Amino acid sequence: MAAANYYLVSALPSLAELGSVPPLSLAALRDHVSERAGPRALVEAILLGDDLLQRDAVLAGESVETAPAVLAPAQVRNEEPLPPYLAGAGEAAASRIAADAVWDAYFRHAAGVARASGSRFLATWVGREVALRNALATARAKALDLEPADYLVAAELGQTDDDFAALVAEWAAAANPLEGIRVLDAARWQWLVDHDAWFSFGDDELAAYAAKLMLLARWHRLSTAPAAKPTG
């Protein structure tokens, strides 16, 4: 209920524009909503994506410092197994690139949380993130003369009205990978501004806040890391 979230929403610091310093950590946001099952499920489903980006960076040798909000630090460092719901789909997962199998499982998990909670925001966010990720994967595969279908994740979830052709072209034309990821995150930020359910005080407003804070944290991490090499 919206009224039940009035304190949770009003007690959160305002978020400035993309590129500003995050006013709190992702783990602090998770703690903030921890006593309410509905908001906690949505917030964790979104913040888990940032934990997996940090894990990808560790596995690629690009980062040794992590600050996960949902996973244990040892899971992000690949020293402990991921939760069963990120284990992929058995034989189907075994035939895929390991990282893609994890992301496939992640998006299916987040979509399941959206269905169970009735969250329109989370369902739409998942659909857009999957569609964007697959559009980028397709562009990369074609550039390398590979089969795009081998690199898609949770393709049936990628439902959106957005046409990513112009965005993918701008990303491809970026001067370096860091600028490319900033192009994508700027587009993600604008989408969130247009869909953040501001002042509704519903669970979806907290989910949108989590998605915005995650982008701020990621942007800040990339901007402050020496010789940053973005992933995902």
Over residues 92-110, the pLDDT tens digits come to 444 457 889 999 999 999 9
Q: Range of 199's domain?
A: 3-9+31-224
Query: Is 49 within the bounds of a domain?
Result: yes
Backbone phi and psi for residue 126, each to the nearest 5 degrees, phi listed first? -60, -45
Query: Is 145 within the bounds of a domain?
Result: yes
Query: Is 229 within the bounds of a domain?
Result: no
**pLDDT tens digits, one per residue of 148-207:** 999 999 999 998 888 999 999 999 999 999 999 999 999 999 999 999 866 577 899 999
Query: Is 115 within the bounds of a domain?
Result: yes
18-22, 76-80, 178-182, 201-205: which range is least confident on average?
201-205
Query: Is 186 within the bounds of a domain?
Result: yes
Query: Is 155 within the bounds of a domain?
Result: yes
150's tokens: 């081998």
**C-alpha dist (Å) from residue 1 to 16, 118, 223:** 26, 12, 38
CB 180 within 8 A of CB 170: no
State the burial class of residue 152 (Cβ atoms within 10 Å of its Cβ: 0-12, 13-18, 19+).
buried
**pLDDT tens digits, one per residue of 121-158:** 999 999 999 999 999 999 999 999 999 999 999 999 99
Query: Is 19 within the bounds of a domain?
Result: no
The domain tally of the chain equals 1
> Among residues 97, 58, 103, which one has the least CA distance to residue 76?
58
Label residue 113 by pLDDT band (50, 70, 90).
very high
Query: Is 130 within the bounds of a domain?
Result: yes
Mean pLDDT, the chain, rounded, equals 90
CB atoms within 10 A of CB 191: 18
**C-alpha dist (Å) from residue 155 to 58, 70, 77, 151, 216:** 26, 25, 28, 10, 27
